[in-house]
């Protein structure tokens, strides 16, 4: 398994990053034992890089898997906190629930970030920098679906790592095209910051083109790792094979065809619009007082499910 150094951080990570979002309650909702077993299996296969977030509600999965191996793995987390106090609570929660003395990477979780992101969340960003200085964080980053935020972070010296959404179809980019995002990523790479990517398969829309879609992202200049969501050992093995440049049989890819989708229960939905506000892909609308999801636009990020106050959203 290829390892790369994330920018100037000195943090060495496997090119394959295990994105843990889909293990937990926002998507597959595996048991802690099942999710932890898959993470541990990835560790046995050589993966050392695991991406999580406070909003994923799956710290317990990661903690159980890495117990006794805490110093051997790199953990990235994120928080949507806006104030200093709230970010401090988020960092302390991660430290406590992951049973670690430090977190390797902590991002501002900023999907559809506005151009004044660091002004709007100045307190949260300052907290990240303070906790890095105190030794509780090794690197500070920004995770975003927005071209302008990626471009801006290239100019901010305090940002060590950028975690952009990029795939060859351009799905999920909230303010531009594939070409726009590639140009922004090039700025980050030129600034010698750490770079790893999310949503290379566009939430499963590109799964029938898995090797080509993943390699499109791997080959972006300056890209040091790619976060891949997986919920079965078969998916893990296929991803490992892709990152080890092995041939994948067409039949195997055909069997992986994506069938997951979010449904909105009309008899439960109150039409509050909370899901619309967090959907960076513009996949959700309110029609006749009920939320509707466009599966052609949905990238299965699960953020809508996490904010629904009426538990009206299901994964099927």
- Token pair for 48: 């050392």
- What's residue 181's pLDDT? 98
Note the Cα 302 to chain centre separation in Å: 11
The Cα angle at residue 279 between residues 197 and 56, in degrees rounded to 5: 60
- Give mean pLDDT, residues 254-283: 80
- Token pair for 246: 């092995």
- Give mean pLDDT, residues 102-121: 88
Confidence class of residue 238 from pLDDT cuts 50, 70 and 90? Answer: very high
Among 105-114, 239-248, 304-313, the range with the most confident prediction by mean pLDDT is 239-248
3-255 and 262-315 share one fold: no
Neighbouring-strand partners of residue 91: none
CA neighbor of 22 nearest in space, from 5, 35, 3: 35
Confidence class of residue 305 from pLDDT cuts 50, 70 and 90? Answer: confident
Give the whole-angstrom CA distance, residue 293 versus residue 313.
10
- What's residue 257's pLDDT? 67
- Give mean pLDDT, residues 2-30: 95
- What's residue 316's pLDDT? 61
- Token pair for 55: 């909003």
Angle, nearest 10°, between helix axes 59-66 and 84-97?
Answer: 40
| Residue that the structure tokens 């898995």 belong to | 210
- What's residue 224's pLDDT? 98
- Give mean pLDDT, residues 69-85: 95
- Is a pLDDT exceeding 60 seen at residue 157? yes
Give the whole-angstrom CA distance, residue 13 versus residue 21.
19
Confidence class of residue 251 from pLDDT cuts 50, 70 and 90? Answer: confident
- Token pair for 215: 């390699």
Q: In sequence order, which residues have a C-beta less than 8 Å from that of residue 95 and are 6 or more positions away?
A: 101, 102, 103, 136
Query: What single-letter DSSP state applies at residue 165?
Result: B
- Is a pLDDT exceeding 90 seen at residue 88? yes
Give the whole-angstrom CA distance, residue 314 versus residue 203.
16
- CA dihedral (132, 135, 138, 139) in degrees, to 10, reads 0
- Give mean pLDDT, residues 168-194: 96
What confidence tens digit (pLDDT) does each residue in 185-217 have? Answer: 999 999 999 999 999 999 888 988 899 999 999
Confidence class of residue 83 from pLDDT cuts 50, 70 and 90? Answer: very high
Q: In a 3-state reduction of DSSP, which class is residue 248?
A: coil
What confidence tens digit (pLDDT) does each residue in 119-133 have? Answer: 999 999 999 999 999
User: What proportion of the chain, given as a percentage, has pLDDT over 90?
Assistant: 71
- Is a pLDDT exceeding 60 seen at residue 57? yes
Give the whole-angstrom CA distance, residue 240 versus residue 221.
21
Neighbouring-strand partners of residue 182: none
CA neighbor of 103 nearest in space, from 118, 87, 119: 87
Angle, nearest 10°, between helix axes 210-218 and 233-243?
Answer: 50
- CATH for 3-255? 3.20.20.100
- Is a pLDDT exceeding 60 seen at residue 183? yes
- Is a pLDDT exceeding 70 seen at residue 259? no
The residue extents of the domains of the chain are: 3-255, 262-315
Look up the CATH architecture of domain 262-315. Answer: 2-Layer Sandwich (3.30)
- What's residue 222's pLDDT? 97
Strands (E) across the chain are located at 3-5, 12-14, 16-19, 49-51, 74-79, 103-109, 137-144, 161-164, 194-197, 225-229, 262-264, 284-287, 290-293, 313-315
Pairing of strands 12-14, 3-5: antiparallel
- Is a pLDDT exceeding 70 seen at residue 260? no
* Residue predicted with more confidence, 271 or 260: 271
């Amino acid at each position: 398994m290829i390892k790369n150094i994330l920018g100037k951080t000195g943090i060495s990570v496997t090119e394959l990053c295990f994105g843990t979002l889909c293990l937990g309650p926002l998507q597959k909702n595996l048991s802690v034992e099942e999710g932890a077993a898959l993470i541990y299996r990835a560790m046995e296969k050589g993966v050392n890089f695991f991406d999580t977030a406070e909003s994923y509600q799956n710290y317990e999965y990661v903690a159980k898997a890495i117990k006794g191996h805490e110093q051997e793995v790199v953990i990235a987390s994120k928080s949507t906190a806006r104030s200093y106090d709230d970010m401090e609570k988020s960092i302390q929660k991660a430290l406590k629930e992951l049973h670690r003395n430090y977190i390797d990477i902590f991002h501002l979780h900023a999907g559809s970030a506005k151009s004044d992101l660091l002004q709007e969340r100045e307190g949260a960003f300052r907290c990240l920098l303070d906790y890095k200085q105190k030794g509780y964080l090794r690197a500070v980053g920004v995770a975003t679906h927005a071209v302008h935020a990626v471009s801006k972070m290239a100019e901010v010296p305090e940002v060590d790592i950028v975690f952009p959404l990029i795939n060859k179809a351009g799905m999920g980019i909230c303010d531009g095209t594939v070409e726009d995002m590639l140009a922004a990523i090039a700025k980050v790479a030129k600034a010698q910051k750490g770079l790893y990517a999310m949503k290379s398969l566009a939430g499963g829309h590109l799964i029938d083109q898995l090797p080509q879609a993943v390699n499109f992202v791997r080959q972006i200049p300056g890209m040091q790792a790619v976060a891949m969501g997986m919920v079965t050992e078969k998916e893990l093995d296929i991803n490992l094979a892709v990152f080890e440049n092995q041939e994948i049989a067409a039949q195997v890819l055909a069997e992986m065809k994506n069938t997951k989708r979010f449904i909105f229960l009309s008899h439960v939905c109150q039409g509050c619009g909370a899901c619309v506000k967090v959907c960076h892909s513009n996949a959700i609308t309110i029609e006749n007082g009920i939320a509707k999801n466009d599966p052609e636009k949905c990238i299965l990020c699960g953020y809508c499910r996490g904010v629904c106050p009426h538990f009206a959203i299901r994964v099927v």
